[in-house]
Amino acid sequence: MKIDWKRKLSSRKFWALLAALATSILTAAGAGESVTLQVTGVIGAVGACVAYMLSESYADANGSGDKTEE
């Protein structure tokens, strides 16, 4: 079974999973609330940027956009 990484990395569910996993691990390790919040924020921001870049590259590759017929 081949993993479609492009689809996986653009999934909000995937990034939510990583944020939840990081929060759980940091809490179990005894990290403070501010550290946990900062790490979760960074994961969310990176996830949003990756999803945006992949969706834009997909749109560019498919030639989508406003084209007027001649």
Segment 14-35, tens digit of pLDDT: 888 888 998 889 888 898 889 9
> Can you give the residue ranges of every domain in the chain?
31-60
> In angstroms, what CA-CA distances link 64 with 4, 11, 20, 61?
22, 21, 35, 8
State pLDDT tens for residues 33-68. 899 889 989 988 998 888 888 888 888 888 755 555
The DSSP secondary-structure symbol of 65 reads S
